[in-house]
Amino acid sequence: MNRLDGKVALISGAARGIGAETARLMVEAGARVVIGDILEERGRETARAIGTDASAVFQRLDVTSEADWNAAIGAATARWGGLDILVNNAGMFLGKGIEEASLDEWHRLCAVNLTGVFLGTKLAVPSLRERAKARPQGSAIVNLASVAGLVGSQLDPLYSMTKGGVTLFTKSAALEFARKGYHIRVNSIHPGVIQTDMGQQTFVSRARNIGTNDVDAARQIALSTHPIGRLGMPTDIAKGIVFLASDDARFMTGAGLVVDGGLTAQ
């Protein structure tokens, strides 16, 4: 199950967190991976920790830059002949209410969480489409949405607006590529609260909202919203991403995989 032998993946925002764990599991599953991120030192360390140059390489990628995307896709093509998998994982959390957020902050959030997904998809399509011709199950895109792209977020309504956009862009892109006969499946994944740097930012903003500096107390509150009794780990989400990227998800496109410990079941 969930093998990726011979496939080439580009993962944005993979220097740390969910993206880094996804890169690790993808290499374990037989893929070769380009790790794209703005964190250069961390990205190189992650690539080194995962494998040799033959399986994982770092490429600087700011998802808001068309030139960076072209360079990252070009790196995958030059090294390994093209792309079979794109994971639009890079994202940012703002943690501010509607009245506190500035216009500049909103523009930055949109640039990373929305423009980044649009650009990555648009610019990777030629390569994904080309490689799909030689593969019976085609190519795959996996977009990192969130539970906040399914239900409202009192912590960060603007983040929620961007992730709602990712949720529906996923479905629309799936429909467009199916109509055009590209054989590129597009699916989203919707994590609950995951213990990463971003997860920590959500605890800090939750603490601020309830008027305390006690981040641990805020973490406990976040935990209590997950019926399964714990917060998520990066590997919980990475396993779902690997599945969606693999041929085992061959009949899935335009779908959202909810991996949230029961949070949105309530």
Ligand X SMILES: NC(=O)c1ccc[n+]([C@@H]2O[C@H](COP(=O)([O-])OP(=O)(O)OC[C@H]3O[C@@H](n4cnc5c(N)ncnc54)[C@H](O)[C@@H]3O)[C@@H](O)[C@H]2O)c1
197 interacts with ligand X by CB under 6 A: yes
Nearer to ligand X, 17 or 95 (CB): 17
In the block, tokens 């599945």 appear at: 243
* Adjacent-strand bridge partners of 49: none
Q: Report, in Å, the least distance between residue 18 CB and ligand X.
A: 4
Would strands 8-12 and 85-88 be described as parallel, antiparallel, or unpaired? parallel
164 interacts with ligand X by CB under 6 A: no
The answer to whether the CB of 95 falls within 8 A of the CB of 157 is no
129 interacts with ligand X by CB under 6 A: no
Buried b (16+ CB within 10 A) or exposed e, 164-198: bbbbebbbebbeebeeeebbbbbbbbbbbbbbbeb
16 interacts with ligand X by CB under 6 A: yes
Q: Report, in Å, the least distance between residue 198 CB and ligand X.
A: 3
- Residue 182 annotated among the catalytic residues of the structure: no
235 interacts with ligand X by CB under 6 A: no
Candidate list 4, 11, 25, 38; residue touching ligand X; CB under 6 A = 38
Candidate list 59, 167, 196, 205; residue touching ligand X; CB under 6 A = 196
Buried b (16+ CB within 10 A) or exposed e, 214-227: eeeebbeebeebbe
What is the footprint of ligand X within residues 46-85 (CB under 6 A)?
61-64
Give the active site residues.
Answer: 159
